[in-house]
Chains A and B, each alone.
Chain A
Amino acid sequence: QSALTQPRSVSGSPGQSVTISCTGTSSDVGGYNYVSWYQQHPGKAPKLMIYDVSKRPSGVPDRFSGSKSGNTASLTISGLQAEDEADYYCCSYAGSYTLHVVFGGGTKLTVL
């Protein structure tokens, strides 16, 4: 399975909003509501930020939100803060009788 397509980088100033897109196909992103997003700071393990397209785990600020339209999922971060600067990866779980998991190529978020 091919990796999901994400922009290599996005940037924004503190307080602004940014959106990171994640484009797949009807076999993954478009076919299932199992898109998740992970934040990864340098040298650290990824952290789950959004699951099932738009749900937030306990402890994740409500500045983080997710959505999906067709084969493209999006992560929006509002009220940008310096600590949001990190790499972000989308992931889609897919498959019925056989399981497939595919990650995006990652997006570097810079807070200016």
Chain B
Amino acid sequence: QVTLRESGPALVKPTQTLTLTCTFSGFSLSTSGMCVSWIRQPPGKALEWLALIDWDDDKYYSTSLKTRLTISKDTSKNQVVLTMTNMDPVDTATYYCARSHDRNFDYWGQGTLVTVSS
């Protein structure tokens, strides 16, 4: 059974750095073809893909946010970590992690709401 769970702060201040952790089970990120992505959704708005890390430790980022994002993995802990620097109120959103396999997001976490406010 594949599960993913996001964790991190619910509230961050402007200019701070956000660190989110995705803890997963039911698959291994060392298996060829496996990837984990971060996707966010501002309240009432559309989904936005942020970053992806694959089994081979290749990393890909949204063009518009790449200067602020870092994605990493700890295969032994079954975790993927996303950091986003210089947070702004417009970054207020629910942040999801999702498994990518064969170029689609087949399993999602329940999401974690991050509010950026002073």
Which residues of chain A have a CB within 8 Å of any CB of chain B? 1, 3, 34, 36, 38, 45-48, 51-52, 57, 89, 91, 93, 98-106
How many B residues touch A, CB cutoff 8 Å? 20
Determine whether B106 belongs to the interface, using a CB cutoff of 8 Å to chain A: yes
A46 with B49, Cβ < 8 A, contacts A1-B63, A98-B60, A101-B37 known? no
Interface residues of B (CB under 8 A from A): 37, 39, 46-49, 52, 60, 62-63, 96, 102-106, 108-111
Instruction: A106 to B47: give the CA distance in the assembly, Å.
Output: 8
Count of A-B contacts judged by CB separation below 8 Å: 56
Do residues B103 and A100 form an inter-chain contact, with CB atoms below 8 A? no
Residue of A3, A45, A93, A103 with most partner-chain B CB within 10 A:
A45
Contacts of B109 in A (CB 8 A): 45
CB distance from B7 to the nearest CB of A (A): 15
